[in-house]
């Protein structure tokens, strides 16, 4: 019943001074299909480390990871590459991850060129569909991301993350660089897309009020561990 489940996830890094730092300690995390899980915690508490483990960008020192009940902790090579398409990420500043000379249309369809074999027309149709999904006019395909507003660039970031039809979207401080009114628009967009597509979302943010706008459940991290995991509507009772 969980699309993604982590058990006892632990990660350690060696610091510059040679000490061992536990960035993530025995974290249990569960995500249901169609659910939004919010993860909150101050800077340095291990949120990004946990996300990298969940997105299979790095392997935990200890613990297990399951996708739809199948253990995926030790996937490697081609099966790992393939698995990663199920889980896509949206970052704080998508412009930073788009090649500066790439037009918006190319930027959002790049994952398709890398991972799917589509005809020119199919790619074109998918491009139009993605732009429409995130509320941008088709003509924006020919514009450069750096000529767009922060909110529009984040819409592109979301379109690009959805190009491969992932099951899970991981948003790492995806609204943190935006104006408050734009943050809400992006959150509404994510909630809409989630309802339309039955997507599961992990939404990481240092702003509890914002997380609470869309999260069904909220996990609070502190010093690498989970201190609370509650339904979204009970967060304020505990605070
Ligand atoms: P958050 O995303 O909540 O700000 P991070 O996961 O980025 O937290 O960091 C958790 C801790 O792990 C921090 O003390 C950070 O300095 C450390 N850390 C993260 N990544 C590395 C790394 N690759 N090498 C060494 N230390 C790291
Ligand atoms: P296949 O026929 O093996 O499903 P394609 O021939 O369409 O894959 O794609 C060529 C290469 O692109 C594959 O060998 C693989 O490396 C990569 N690739 C294609 N689809 C995916 C995917 N969903 N996830 C990861 N890699 C993929």
From first to last of the 239 residues of the chain, give the pLDDT tens digit.
899 999 999 999 999 999 999 999 999 999 999 999 999 999 999 999 999 999 999 999 999 999 999 999 999 999 999 999 999 999 887 766 667 789 999 999 999 998 899 999 999 999 999 999 999 999 999 999 989 999 999 999 999 999 999 999 999 999 988 999 999 999 999 999 999 999 999 999 988 888 988 899 999 999 999 998 888 877 765 55
Instruction: Tell the residue nearest (CA) to atom 25 of ligand 1.
Output: 13
Nearest Cα neighbor of 221 from 51, 77, 101 is 51
Of all protein residues, the one whose alpha carbon is nearest to atom 19 of ligand 2 is 115
Structure ipTM = 0.65
- Cα–Cα distance measured from residue 162 to residue 90, given in angstroms and rounded to the nearest whole number: 9
Task: State the distance from the centre of ligand 2 to the C-alpha of 239, rounded, in angstroms.
Answer: 47
The response to whether residue 2 sits with its C-beta less than 6 Å from ligand 2 reads no
| Model pLDDT, residue 72 | 96
Q: Does 77 sit in the ligand 2 pocket, CB within 6 Å?
A: no
The residue nearest atom 27 of ligand 1, judged by CA position, is: 13
Ligand 1 lining (C-beta closer than 6 Å): 13, 21, 23, 41, 43-49
Measured between alpha carbons, how far is 221 from 103 in angstroms, rounded to an integer? 38
Nearest atom (ligand 2) to Cα of 117: 7
- DSSP class of 115: H
Residues 6+ apart with CB under 8 A from 30: 2, 4, 5, 6, 37
29: nearest Cα among 239, 210, 220, 194: 220
Which numbered atom of ligand 1 lies nearest the CA of 52?
6
Take atom 16 of ligand 2 and give the residue whose Cα is closest: 78
pLDDT at 228: 87
For ligand 1, atom 13: residue with the closest CA? 44
Atom number of ligand 2 nearest to Cα 83: 24
Residue 236's pLDDT is 62
Q: Which ligand is nearest to the CA of 12?
A: 1
Instruction: Supply the pLDDT for residue 232.
Output: 81
| 116 Cα: distance to centroid of ligand 2 (angstroms) | 7
14 within ligand 2 shell (Cβ under 6 A): no
Model-level pTM greater than 0.90?
no
* 24 beta partners: 11
Ligand 1 midpoint to CA 206 (Å): 15
Nearest CA to ligand 1 atom 12: 23
Ligand 2: which residue has its CA nearest to atom 27? 115
Q: How far apart are CA 205 and CA 222, in angstroms?
A: 13
């Amino acid at each position: 019943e969980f699309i993604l489940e982590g058990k006892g996830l632990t990660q350690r890094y060696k610091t510059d001074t040679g000490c061992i730092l536990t960035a993530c300690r025995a974290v249990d995390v569960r995500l249901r299909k169609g659910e939004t899980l919010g993860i909150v915690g101050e800077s340095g508490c291990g949120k990004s480390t946990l996300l990298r483990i969940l997105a299979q960008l790095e392997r935990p020192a200890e613990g297990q990871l399951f996708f739809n009940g199948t253990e995926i902790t030790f996937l490697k090579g081609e099966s790992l590459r393939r698995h990663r398409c199920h889980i896509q990420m949206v970052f704080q500043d998508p412009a930073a991850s788009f090649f500066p000379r790439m037009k918006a249309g190319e930027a959002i369809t790049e994952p398709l060129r890398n991972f799917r074999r589509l005809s020119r027309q199919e790619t074109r149709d998918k491009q139009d569909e993605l732009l429409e999904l995130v509320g941008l006019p088709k003509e924006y395909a020919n514009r450069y991301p750096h000529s767009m507003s922060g909110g529009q660039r984040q819409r592109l970031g979301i379109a690009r993350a959805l190009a491969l039809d992932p099951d899970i979207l991981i948003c790492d401080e995806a609204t943190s660089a935006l104006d408050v009114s734009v943050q809400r628009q992006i959150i509404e967009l994510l909630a809409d897309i989630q309802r339309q597509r039955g997507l599961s979302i992990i939404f990481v943010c240092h702003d509890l009020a914002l997380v609470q706008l869309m999260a069904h459940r909220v996990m609070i991290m502190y010093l690498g561990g989970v201190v609370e995991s509650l339904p979204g509507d009970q967060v304020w009772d505990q605070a």
